[in-house]
Amino acid sequence: MHTFFAPDLVGPTYTLPEDESKHAIRVLRLGLGDTVELLDGRGGRYQAAVADANPKRCQLRIIQHETVAPRPYFTHVAVAPTKNLDRMEWFVEKAVEVGVERISFLRCARSERRELKLERLEKIAISALKQSGQAWLPQLDELQDFAAFMAGVAPATTFIAHLEEGERTALAQVAGAGPGCCVLIGPEGDFTPQEIELAISKGIRPVTLGASRLRTETAALAAVFTAHVVRA
C-alpha cells in the first residue's frame, strides 16, 4: 500500500498537495476506491480511499484510523553536522527508520560546518517516515552553539561520547537507566578538551560506543541503535 504524509489531516477527508496528487494519479495510477496509507507524524495512522482522482487535488476519504502510542523510551541525539552534508542526510534517514524522537545539531569549536538549513533534512526525515512506517516524526532542532545547548540539558540522562583519554563507560551500560537519554556526538575532529570539561562539570557522563573509531554519522546512528537495544 502506498504511503503519504499528511501532517495537517483533520476530519473525514484529506486532499493531497498538488505535487503528491500528481504523483498519486499520474505516476502511481491510483483510481477511485484505491486505498492508501496516511501518516500524520504525530502517531496517527490512517487508511484512506481515493474519492476524487484529480491529479491536482486528489481527495481521500478516511476509512480506518489508529493512534500509535509514543515509544516509552525517549531517544535524543545531539550531533555536530559533518562538512559533507550527504553524510548527515544518511544519518537522519537511518535514524528515523530505526526510531528516534529528537535530533539536535551542534556547532562546536572544531566543526567544519558552521551553518545548516533544515529544509532538506526535514524532507529526508519525512521520506524515511513513509518508507519505514514509523508513526512519529522526530523533532529536528536548528544548529546551535555547544555552550548554548549545554545550558538546557538534563545531566542525569545526558552522555557525551568522545575519544579523549580518561574513564568512559559503555553507553549500553547506562543508557537504559532512565526514561530516555541524550547522547552528544562531536565533529570529525572530536570535542575539544574544554568542551568535554564543560560537559563533565555539569554532571554529564562520558561514554564510549565501542573500540572502533567511528565517523560522526556512524557514531550518531550507533547511539540511536544502542538506545533501542538496551530497551528491547
pLDDT 10s digits, 151-183 = 999 999 999 999 888 889 999 998 877 789 999
pLDDT at 231 over 90: no
pLDDT for position 232: 59
- 74-231 folds as Alpha/beta knot (3.40.1280)
pLDDT for position 230: 74
CB atoms < 10 A from the CB of 8, how many? 8
Phi, psi of 58 (to 5 degrees): -70, 120
The ranges of the chain annotated as CATH 2.40.240.20 are 3-67
**pTM score over 0.85:** yes
Joined grid coordinates for residue 218 = 556512524
pLDDT for position 212: 87
Is the C-alpha dihedral spanning 156, 227, 185, 136 positive or negative? negative
User: Domain 3-67 is in which class?
Assistant: mainly beta
CB atoms < 10 A from the CB of 173, how many? 12
Q: Which residues contact 214 (CB under 8 A, 6 or more apart)?
A: 222
CB atoms < 10 A from the CB of 56, how many? 12
**pLDDT, tens digit, for every residue of 7-43?**
999 889 999 999 999 999 999 999 999 999 999 999 9
pLDDT for position 211: 86
Joined grid coordinates for residue 77 = 541525539
The ranges of the chain annotated as CATH 3.40.1280.10 are 74-231
pLDDT for position 228: 84
Give me the chain's average pLDDT, please. Answer: 94
Give the C-alpha separation, 224 to 205, whole Å.
17
pLDDT for position 177: 79
Mean pLDDT of 201-209: 95
The proportion of the chain whose per-residue pLDDT surpasses 70, expressed as a percent, equals 99
**pLDDT, tens digit, for every residue of 70-110?**
988 999 999 999 999 999 999 999 999 999 999 999 999 99
